[in-house]
Structure 1
Amino acid sequence: MKRRLNPLLLIGLTGVSISGALFGMDYGRAIGGDPNIWSPKELALPLEQTAGHFQILFDGEPLADHLARNSLTALGPEGLAYFVTPEMVRVRLNNWPEIRGSLFHVAVYSALGLGASIACLIIGLIESLRPLGARRQMANAQADRPAAPRQTGLFKPDQTTRPSAWRRG
């Protein structure tokens, strides 16, 4: 009357601990990550390439229009004025929404593994907590079923395989 260790219970325990930790890390990074993730200064984009993300209005007009007609001036370090050209304007973007989306994407796979592990754990617990007699009755019921007759080789089941039963006729 020794109880066997249920493999589904072991898979569930191992999977819940591993995939639960992975899910917690992935979800935690997506929820509580640093929202100030800017593109590097070296990779700053020209204003034309960022037109689909935002628009800067200067005196009611888009900044790109002002730059195109040279209506903006700036003062240099020596105090001399110069026209601001579109090549001088660069934009750094906050990449947090894209990074957050990819972290949530990874967290979905961790959650899938966690769900499968929890299912294995529950099934394993039910099987291990079920009384031993009920499991034995199920096994005996399957063993009591009549087995199909075995077919061996060339002979039909009603013929004998003993040489003394062979007759020439």
Structure 2
Amino acid sequence: MKRKMNLLLIIGLVGTPIAGTQFGIDYGRAIWGETQIWWTPQQLALPLEQTSNQFQILLDNEPLANHLTRNSLTALGAEGLAYFVTPEMVRVRLNNWPQVQAGMLHMAVYSALALGVSLTCLIVGALEFFRHAPAPRQRASELPTLRSSRRRSGG
């Protein structure tokens, strides 16, 4: 008895491990990925005013930028002398992990879609494969020959 594999079963058998592996890699990197390597490099730190759309630091219920423009903040230098903190002195390093993670999860959606399609093909193909009983094999001696299958017409 021999069963014939259908196209859906073949697609499912090939696609499921490939799409499943890709989904596992994409999702794993997004969930358990390295979160501390995505900071803005120190040499490229941004001025405070360029980051106002992402966060705001309040000092005594007033934005830090207002204090800096009024020169109301002072600091002590290494030699112990006080100086005013200016907006040019303040730089911000951002952690870009949320944006990177969103991109990784976006890719995981596509690999999950491919995995779903592959699993559907695998299930439908397997159901089709096992639904039909296999045709029994015939021995060569049992196969009808061309001569014996011809009808001889009388006449």
TM-score, normalization: structure 1? 0.73
Q: Deviations over 1:82-121 (max 9, x none)?
A: 2111011001111121111111100000011001101110
Moved segments of 4+, more than 6 Å: none
> Match of 1:94, as an amino acid?
N
1:42-121 superposed matches below 5 A = 42-121=43-122
TM superposition shift of 1:79? 2.0
TM superposition shift of 1:42? 1.6
Give the 3-state SS of the residue equivalent to 1:58 in structure 2.
coil
* Percent of matched pairs sharing the same residue: 65
Determine which structure has more spread, i.e. the larger CA radius of gyration: 1
Match of 2:35 in 1: 35
1:145-156 superposed matches below 5 A = none
Q: Deviations over 1:104-145 (max 9, x none)?
A: 1000000110011011101110111012379xxxxxxxxxxx
**RMSD of Structure 2 on Structure 1 (CA):** 1.7
Give the whole-Å Cα distance in 1 for the aligned partners of 2:66 and 2:109: 44
Give the whole-Å Cα distance in 1 for the aligned partners of 2:80 and 2:131: 87
TM superposition shift of 1:9? 1.1
- Unaligned runs of at least 5 residues, structure 2: 136-155
Give the whole-Å Cα distance in 2 for the aligned partners of 1:74 and 1:99: 36
Give the 3-state SS of the residue equivalent to 1:57 in structure 2.
coil
TM superposition shift of 1:54? 1.3
Give the whole-Å Cα distance in 2 for the aligned partners of 1:133 and 1:13: 20
> Match of 2:80, as an amino acid?
G
Higher relative contact order (Cα pairs below 8 Å, separated by 6+ residues): 2
- Unaligned runs of at least 5 residues, structure 1: 135-169
Give the whole-Å Cα distance in 2 for the aligned partners of 1:133 and 1:103: 45
> Match of 2:73, as an amino acid?
L
The number of aligned residues is: 134
> Match of 1:14, as an amino acid?
V
Match of 2:3 in 1: 3
TM-score, normalization: structure 2? 0.79
Match of 2:128 in 1: 127
TM superposition shift of 1:5? 2.6
